[in-house]
Amino acid sequence: MITHKRQYILLIITFLVGGLLLSCNSERKFAAGFVDKKINRSALVFFPEFLFKTNQKTFLLDSLGVTDETQFDSVLMANSKFLQYLNDSLFIANYAFGFTKELSAFGFSVFDEHKVAEFMEVDSNAFVINIAQIELEETIYTQRDESLIYNTYYSHDQDLEAVYVNSWIEINQMNVHGEKPSVYFATALITDDFEGDFSYDLFTGRINYVYNIDSLEKASLYEYAYQLGRTYAGYTYDFLLNTYLDKTVPKAER
């Protein structure tokens, strides 16, 4: 039996995240200093003005009889199930709301592009975070279910509507001489809800596969954008904490 819930699945992420292995008292002490919300930390956050959208369902070109390569992109977009109807501004706004809300919850004073002058007056503990690019790729994701029944192996492949969300994130600490921006890439996947199981038919002796699909909707993509924003803000915070520990904890005490 398999249950594939509609939730973001983080596939690749180059952040240094996850559980922080604070192996000694020094690391725990410095980490406690970083998370102290009494210490003012500021972040100037930029978001892109538009989305990059790609329909990866190239099999549609054959069924539509399109052979002119100059028409491929426009035909694929016109025949996309989600991308052609998705509002860039609303998706980015939800992503931005989730990101800034979560970063604020970690104790950051968050500035947007309209408050650059105010941000430039901050003396220390200031970071520029640029969500440089967000790309959406519409595709088909094949989910496999496998089971061993009466010593016989069975499998079922189910095609699901899917959208990858790829993000490029730049992080730079201000007022630090020689500091270069770090660029990170993350990709996540959202699909149809899918639940299925193998069923043995006593009358025919056959194994059938019974499943139910709750189709992905455009509204789910907007909700997903908000959740991704929150998730990546958390990863950004983890990254900044790890970077802080690398700079402050003496090597002999790690």
Q: How many Cα atoms are found within 13 Å in the side-chain-facing hemisphere of 80?
A: 23
Q: Which tokens sit at 94?
A: 């939800």
Q: Which tokens sit at 146?
A: 């496998």
Flag residues of the chain having pLDDT under 50: 15-22, 26-27, 29-34
Check residue 253 and give its pLDDT: 54
Check residue 32 and give its pLDDT: 47
Task: State how beta strands 108-111 and 207-214 pair.
Answer: unpaired
The candidate with the shortest Cα–Cα distance to 2, out of 120, 124, 145, is 145
Q: Which tokens sit at 114?
A: 């309209």
| Whole-structure pTM value | 0.83
- Distance from C-alpha of 254 to C-alpha of 237, rounded to nearest angstrom: 21
Q: Which tokens sit at 148?
A: 């061993």
Choosing among 3.40.50.280, 3.90.45.10, 1.10.3720.10, 3.30.160.150, the CATH entry for 2-18+39-51+86-253 is 3.30.160.150
Q: Counting beta carbons within 10 angstroms of the beta carbon of residue 236, is it exposed (0 to 12), middle (13 to 18) or buried (19 or more)?
A: buried
Q: What residue type is 74 in one-letter code?
A: S
CB 252 within 8 A of CB 119: no
Check residue 99 and give its pLDDT: 97
DSSP state of 67: -
- Distance from C-alpha of 52 to C-alpha of 21, rounded to nearest angstrom: 37
- Distance from C-alpha of 111 to C-alpha of 43, rounded to nearest angstrom: 6
CB 231 within 8 A of CB 167: no
pLDDT, tens digit (0-9, with 9 covering 90-100), for 187-229: 999 999 999 999 988 898 899 999 999 999 999 999 999 999 9
Nearest 5°: the CA angle 139, 73, 63 is: 65
